[in-house]
């Protein structure tokens, strides 16, 4: 009887807590690439192996219930195969967080890593080991796991994701010795993994992190109880981004934040007065002038 009781205690604990991420994975191969049955099997294994790494790794010391896991998506787009077992392309990373008292999910991360090359062989296993650079794909995925977690934590408490951003930055530091693209500060466009994490930890980007918290905790989470106050807080959160615009215009973190909110803002401000809509549109155009026409749809 004692054995049976202990078994159910352990089983109950495994049901109660789980890993942090609920990550869906897709692998897409360009139509121009001929895929043999053997390669298709490798791609299927790649999908499953990435899924296992993201969902079965314990990334933090915190305990998550199943329903508390962070919903995210990893889409690997393979555009070329330079040599056998070597793949090049891009990785689309997305994550959402739930709104309080609602079944709505707000997009927090929506980023496309355009410069990805990695090796993967049949029956390979990806295992993340802290403070080690084992292989390119594992490091890239671990980097985004911590970035997703950091952004999520920042949305629930002021600068709550710092510890996980630091983990992501450590991954960048270790991966730089590989010489592979995406990890280096020499990128003149300043749009890679190095700058994505270097920016978020820089003092100049503290207003962006504060806006992440205010927009979601004082805006998205209040929509059910007080939509008018929620919209005002969201507008104020966006207004605070002007501090970043003045010092780091067109930065990758800033643009990703506002571009991820375009459709959401249109839906949320649909019932707002026309003057309020105009204020939001003018603000977004100032933050992201290259996409002014997209934000204009909020007025429709």
Model pTM?
0.92
pLDDT in tens, 217-236: 999 999 999 999 999 999 99
Strands 21-29, 70-83: pairing is parallel
Which burial class, exposed, middle or buried, applies to 38 when counting CB atoms under 10 A from its CB (0-12, 13-18, 19+)? exposed
CA-based nearest residue to 275, from 298, 256, 257: 298
Structural tokens at position 25: 């994975």
pLDDT of residue 270: 85
The set of residues, in sequence order, having a beta carbon less than 8 Å from that of 34 and lying 6+ positions away, is none
pLDDT of residue 99: 96
pLDDT in tens, 153-189: 999 999 999 999 999 999 999 999 999 999 999 988 8
pLDDT of residue 262: 86
The set of residues, in sequence order, having a beta carbon less than 8 Å from that of 263 and lying 6+ positions away, is none
Task: Find residue 75's DSSP bridge partners.
Answer: 26, 92
Task: Find residue 52's DSSP bridge partners.
Answer: none
pLDDT of residue 7: 40
pLDDT of residue 17: 60
CA distance 5 to 11: 10
pLDDT of residue 156: 97
Runs of H (alpha helix) within 176-247: 193-200, 206-217, 227-239, 242-245
Classify 271 as helix, strand or coil.
helix
pLDDT of residue 15: 43
CA distance 108 to 221: 14
Place of tokens 């939001």: 280
pLDDT of residue 76: 98
Task: Find residue 74's DSSP bridge partners.
Answer: 25, 93
Q: What is the length of the chain? A: 300
Tell me, what DSSP letter sits at residue 114?
E
Low-confidence ranges of the chain (pLDDT < 50): 1-15
CA distance 74 to 112: 10
The set of residues, in sequence order, having a beta carbon less than 8 Å from that of 269 and lying 6+ positions away, is 231, 276, 277, 280, 298
């Amino acid at each position: 009887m004692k054995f049976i009781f202990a078994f159910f205690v352990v089983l109950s604990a495994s049901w109660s807590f789980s890993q942090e991420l609920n990550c869906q994975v897709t692998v897409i191969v360009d139509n121009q690439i001929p895929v043999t049955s053997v390669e298709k099997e490798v791609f299927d294994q790649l999908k499953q192996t990435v899924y296992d790494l993201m969902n079965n790794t314990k990334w933090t010391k915190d305990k998550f219930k199943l329903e508390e896991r962070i919903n995210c998506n990893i889409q690997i787009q393979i555009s070329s195969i330079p040599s056998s077992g070597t793949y090049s392309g891009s990785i689309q990373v997305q994550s959402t967080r739930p709104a309080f008292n609602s079944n709505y999910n707000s997009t927090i991360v929506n980023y496309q890593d355009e410069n990805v090359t990695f090796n993967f062989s049949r029956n390979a296993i990806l295992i993340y080991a802290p403070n080690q650079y084992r292989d390119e794909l594992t490091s890239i995925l671990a980097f985004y796991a911590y970035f997703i977690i950091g952004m999520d934590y920042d949305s629930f408490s002021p600068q709550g994701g710092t510890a996980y951003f630091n983990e992501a930055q450590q991954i960048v530091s270790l991966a730089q010795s590989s010489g592979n693209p995406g990890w280096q500060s020499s990128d003149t466009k300043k749009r890679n993994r190095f700058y994505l994490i270097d920016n978020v930890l820089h003092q100049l980007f503290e207003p962006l992190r504060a806006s992440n918290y205010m927009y979601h905790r004082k805006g998205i989470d209040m929509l059910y109880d007080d939509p008018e106050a929620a919209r005002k807080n969201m507008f104020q959160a966006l207004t605070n981004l002007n501090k970043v615009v003045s010092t780091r215009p067109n930065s990758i973190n800033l643009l990703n934040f506002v571009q991820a909110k375009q459709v959401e803002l249109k839906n949320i401000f649909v019932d707002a007065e026309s003057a309020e809509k105009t204020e939001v549109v003018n603000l977004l155009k100032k933050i992201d002038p290259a996409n002014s026409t997209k934000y204009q749809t909020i007025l429709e």
